[in-house]
Structure 1
């Protein structure tokens, strides 16, 4: 028992030293993690907001299947996404000529695939609820469904920001997909989650714990922001 406590204590002490000394290698990993996740969330959000709103407002054959698919894809297994993107970007794949495999760009694509259905599904639900509430008023003003999309997205901005934060939380904590398509290359595609897995397996618990502390802090901030925005939304919508 004392040995276990000593191991944890040494790992925690080492983690604090690395964080307080602003270890360059550690913060390169953190910076790349944020760069990849923020890029993926930005791209996914730009695609998911109009997609979710369009599915909410327009009626077309197979719409029910699209709604079911979006909801189901929210729980996509990361390793399956990683495999699909790997096959897409491999030399024998349709996008192999682009040479994106084992690059940060491949990691962005994988995380984007994971985040997009989350934001799209939550956007669809938000816009659908707002349309039921305001469609008579909007139609009386001569607004078509297509023209109502920007208005409804803006009115639901607090809920949608929470959806985007949920997507960012999924991306920042993901390990399977980025490990497959990024290769966990030191100094190039190594991010926090893959570093934690690698350093733990190597017995470098100080580095793993330092990155774990940063990742937990990041997730805590995301949850805090989501809670705060949720409170603002409740006040806004009464």
Structure 2
């Protein structure tokens, strides 16, 4: 393998507007964003409720959320495959080997990440914030929104990490999507396929996209945090 030639060919693919390459990138972005959007409302609500309410079994709930973070995505893919297959409980949905199935899988993968980060962020908030809001006559919804706004950077970190998690996973997308060209082939499944065939140019190009995206997302969060803190300091 000529590494220099593979890197050169990778950048040619990226900047030549190769339709196959950009189709793979589009499928990855589409399924990841929709999966994240599906998981975000219930995950943030669950994280907030666990963190801000005392109830029987709360420690078990926190333990389950933390444990879900370490579940291999290929295991989630296997479970979804069994559920979505023709003989499975959800087989009538006909989502196996489709983008809908991948989106469903991405949502399940993102759910514990978003929940755990939100839970941690709300737990770290000053408890007097909610108490003050209640004293001023805020309802439950207003209290929740006030607390979540206060810990917004933790929630934003949850979204960034959740997006990175679903965009970079391969096991679930491979098993549920089937790696069908133009339909369910994502960045990670394409990298795995092309590398196994000894075709490294496309893999390097797609890997470069993942690296650049990760750098941009984290840079944006850091810049936003810095700008907000500077504004608060000036006030």
TM-score by length of 1: 0.91
SS at match of 2:125: helix
Partner of residue 98 from structure 2, selected from 79, 97, 103: 103
Kindly report which structure 2 residues correspond to 1:92-131, keeping only aligned pairs within 5 A, or say none.
92-130=87-125
Q: Which residue of 2 aligns with 1:10?
A: 5
Native 8 Å contact 1:115 1:170 kept in 2: yes
Q: Which residue of 1 aligns with 2:184?
A: 189
Structure 2 gap segments, 5+ residues each? none
Post-superposition, which runs of at least 4 consecutive aligned residues in structure 1 deviate over 4 A? 144-147, 232-238
Kindly report which structure 2 residues correspond to 1:1-238, keeping only aligned pairs within 5 A, or say none.
7-130=2-125, 132-143=127-138, 145=140, 147-232=142-227
Measure the CA separation in 2 of the matches of 1:152 and 1:180. Answer: 39
Q: How big is the shift at 1:137?
A: 1.3
Measure the CA separation in 1 of the matches of 2:206 and 2:82. Answer: 30
Change (3 A) 1:188 1:60: same
Measure the CA separation in 2 of the matches of 1:41 and 1:236. Answer: 30
Native 8 Å contact 2:114 2:158 kept in 1: yes
Native 8 Å contact 2:96 2:176 kept in 1: yes
Q: How big is the shift at 1:233?
A: 6.2
**RMSD over equivalenced CA pairs, Å:** 1.8
Q: How big is the shift at 1:59?
A: 2.0
Native 8 Å contact 1:159 1:233 kept in 2: no
Measure the CA separation in 2 of the matches of 1:196 and 1:234. Answer: 40
SS at match of 1:94: coil
Measure the CA separation in 2 of the matches of 1:126 and 1:32. Answer: 31
Change (3 A) 1:87 1:131: farther
Native 8 Å contact 1:79 1:180 kept in 2: yes
Cα deviation digits, residues 48-80 of structure 1 (max 9, x gap): 111111111222221110011111212221111
Structure 1 gap segments, 5+ residues each? none
218-227 vs 168-177, which deviates more? 218-227
Q: State the number of aligned residues.
A: 233
Native 8 Å contact 1:183 1:189 kept in 2: yes
